[in-house]
Amino acid sequence: MEFETGRTPAIQITPRQRWSIAITYFLLICGFALGVNQRDSTLNQASVYSNLEAGISASYPARWLLEESGAYIFRVRDMSHRGYNTVIEVSTAPVGPDTTERNILDQLSLQRSQTLTDYSVLGYDSFRLPDESQAISMSYSYVARDASPFLEGVSSIVNGLDILAIRRGQAVIIAFRADISVYGRELETLRWFVQNLEF
């Protein structure tokens, strides 16, 4: 039995195709550069929040919605994100002489388990604040759904991270929540937020 051996003939690229490939690569590089620039631009475009009464000032991404009327000092939300809107929320809680950070986080978990679907604590960790002090963090997940009962809203899996520090006899809680699909990317925003937070 004989086997024929041979090579696949070399593909001949026309000048027009060569130009197309070059332009495609150029556009990809431009797109990447634009994306990086856009990200930096977004992070650089910051709004400033200041609350003298609470002794808190912060920078947050421009064009995020600032809210102050809930059970928090303030929160900001990325309303342009499709799906669960990434949120960073700053609140305080009273502490007693025997209260530990873990007590407060457990209390938060008990409250959330009453209202959030499939709420689950994923773990605890330490978190270094910009002033080099240590805070405690708690990560968790749950399922969120657009609340309107009259539309066909879909659920989102949300990851959350609470950073808790006790300052001047009260607990300061920075709560960060984002859709699981963008959580890793949005953590950068949280780190930037914490770097610029003063309380």
Using CB under 8 A as the criterion, which residues of the chain lie in contact with other proteins when the complex forms?
41, 45, 47, 62-71, 79-83, 85, 114-117, 146-154
- Closest alpha carbon to 175 in 111, 86, 95, 97: 86
As measured in angstroms, the least distance from the Cβ of 60 to other proteins is: 10
Range list of H helices, the chain:
15-44, 101-115, 183-195
How many other C-beta atoms can be found within 10 angstroms of the C-beta atom of residue 143? 14
When the beta carbons of 20 and 47 are compared against other proteins, the nearer one is 47
As measured in angstroms, the least distance from the Cβ of 117 to other proteins is: 7
Under 8 Å between Cβ of 120 and 143: no
When the beta carbons of 65 and 122 are compared against other proteins, the nearer one is 65
When the beta carbons of 30 and 79 are compared against other proteins, the nearer one is 79
As measured in angstroms, the least distance from the Cβ of 44 to other proteins is: 10
As measured in angstroms, the least distance from the Cβ of 182 to other proteins is: 9
Q: Which two tokens stand for residue 48?
A: 């400033």
As measured in angstroms, the least distance from the Cβ of 13 to other proteins is: 31
When the beta carbons of 146 and 198 are compared against other proteins, the nearer one is 146
For residue 9, the 8-state DSSP code is: P
For residue 120, the 8-state DSSP code is: E
CA 83 → CA 77, 97, 119, distances in Å? 12, 41, 18
When the beta carbons of 56 and 129 are compared against other proteins, the nearer one is 56
> Checking phi first, is residue 133 left (phi over 0); if not, alpha (psi -120 to 50) or beta?
beta
